Amino acid sequence: MKFKIIIGIVAYFASFVFSLSQANEVNIFSARHYDSDVQLYEKFTNKTGIKVNVISGKSGALEKRIIEEGSDSKADLYITADAGRLGAFDAKGMLQSGLNTSAIKAAVPNNFRTSKWTGIAKRARIVYFAPERVTGAELAGLTYESLADPKWKGRIVIRASNNIYNQSLVASLVKNNGKGAAAEWSKGMVSNMSRSPKGNDRAQILAVAAGEADLAVANTYYLALMLSGKKGPEQQAAAKKVKPFFPNQNDRGTHMNISGAGLVKGAPNKANAIKLVEFLLSEEAQNHIVNNTFEYPMIAGVSPHPLVVNMGLDFKQDLKTKVVNYGKKQADALEVMTAAGWK
């Protein structure tokens, strides 16, 4: 009898220790590729005692692993760039509610979050131009829609149609203007490309600097990254040859997107995952993010990196179009781009 009691006590204690260890960790599947994020997680651990385990990889591979592991997955948070990715992953039933605490709702504007995923930083997808070849008169009133104007024929570079940033941009056009209008726009864009799409966002900026095009479409943080010198003196010099332009200032505003975190369905450490998201939206964490990644802060009261500030902060952001629509309209966006011959 005593033996059974002792065994029972040992089993209970072991179970308690195991559950305690479980409660003191959080598992992140992250498609972000910033070393500074690891430093941020270390700050969270120092503050809370909660250990952060990070699995890094490309978004597609991470999503595939979470889906295949199913109820055996250890993933608590899925962190990635672009609301379109988070929305599409949510549509597969892989996220759960919980990111709607009072702290999160107070920090993040409604159009940049759902109860299952939320933005942790913002970015704008804008136009870059060559000031010696593009006049102020040409740029006056420029919108994403007017990029399809024949006057830009052979003058634009932009990434391929399989790029999520472009898919989300076109999804926003589908949402705002309708699928038919977005289809015609996509045809106009293809006609106006100076070359077949290739390379990343920085490659588009480099093409304008090299005289291969007059306009490029790319995210804001890439120019700041190049200007910082972190990508070498050649890219820094090239970045100085282009200027940023924020489209749609006379109507809905410039297209905005996010880096975000989604709460994975069946997360074994759900409470800790929510705590981590709330920490990422704190002033301390937001300052860390923007000064290392050149993104815009998600919360009010935090200033972007000086190189981003120099690009201009007085532009009108599109706060009308909820980013959840990027996932909802993603299939339509890809359909019209493909039909237009957008490589």
* Residue in 58, 60, 51, 95 with CA at minimum distance from that of residue 77: 95
Q: What is the pLDDT of residue 15?
A: 42
Whether residue 333 contacts residue 167, with contact meaning beta carbons closer than 8 Å, is answered with: yes
Instruction: State how far the alpha carbon of 162 is from the alpha carbons of 69, 89, 126, 239, 258, in Å.
Output: 26, 16, 18, 25, 18
State the chain's mean pLDDT as an integer.
93
Say if residue 109 is in the same domain as residue 38: yes
Residue 212 lies in a domain: yes
With respect to residue 312, please indicate whether it lies within any of the assigned structural domains.
Answer: no
Q: How confident is the model at residue 34 (pLDDT cuts 50, 70, 90)?
A: confident
* Residues 151 and 239 grouped into a single domain: yes
**Entry pTM:** 0.90
Residues 60 and 148 in one domain: no
pLDDT of residue 5: 43
User: How confident is the model at residue 9, as a pLDDT?
Assistant: 42
Q: For 90-130, how does the pLDDT look when each residue is reduced to its tens digit (9 = 90+)?
A: 999 999 999 999 999 999 999 999 999 999 999 999 999 99
Residue 23 has a pLDDT of 60
pLDDT the model gives residue 219? 98
**Strand partners of residue 91:** none
Kindly state whether residue 139 falls inside one of the protein's structural domains.
yes
Assigned domain for 80 exists: yes
Shared domain for 148 and 195, answered yes or no, is yes
What average pLDDT does range 135-162 have in this prediction?
Answer: 96
Does 313 reside within a domain?
no
Q: Has residue 140 been placed in a domain?
A: yes
Place 68 in a pLDDT band, splitting at 50, 70 and 90.
very high
Contact between residue 177 and residue 320 where contact means Cβ atoms under 8 Å apart: no
How many domains, the chain? Answer: 2
52 and 188 share one domain: no
We report the CATH number of the domain holding residue 292 as: 3.40.190.10
Q: Is a pLDDT exceeding 50 seen at residue 57? A: yes
Residues 70-94 pLDDT 10s: 999 999 999 999 999 999 999 999 9
Q: What does the pLDDT read at residue 1?
A: 47
155-165 average pLDDT score: 97
153-190 CB burial, b ≥16 within 10 A, e <16: eebbbbbebebbbbbbbbbbbbbbeeeeebbebbbbbb
Residues 92 and 118 in one domain: yes
pLDDT at 251 over 90: yes
103 in the same domain as 51: yes
Containing structural domain, residue 323: 124-255+318-339
Residue 189 lies in a domain: yes
Q: Does residue 227 share a domain with residue 87?
A: no
Cα–Cα dist 63/115, whole Å: 19
- Clarify whether residues 249 and 189 are in a common domain: yes
Which pLDDT score, from 0 to 100, does residue 235 have? 97
Asked if pLDDT for residue 160 goes beyond 80, the answer is yes
Distance in angstroms (rounded) separating the CA atoms of residues 168 and 156? 19
User: Is the pLDDT confidence value at 328 over 80?
Assistant: yes
Q: pLDDT tens for residues 180-218?
A: 999 999 999 999 999 999 999 999 999 999 999 999 999
300 and 248, same structural domain?
no
The proportion of the chain whose per-residue pLDDT surpasses 70, expressed as a percent, equals 93
Statement to judge: residues 161 and 227 lie in one domain: yes
309 inside domain: no
**Residue spans of beta strands (DSSP E) within the chain:** 25-30, 51-56, 77-81, 117-129, 156-157, 215-219, 243-245, 256-263, 296-297
CA–CA separation, 33 and 57 (whole Å)? 8
Q: Tell me: do 89 and 169 sit in the same domain.
A: no
1-10, 120-129, 262-271, 316-325: the lowest-pLDDT one: 1-10
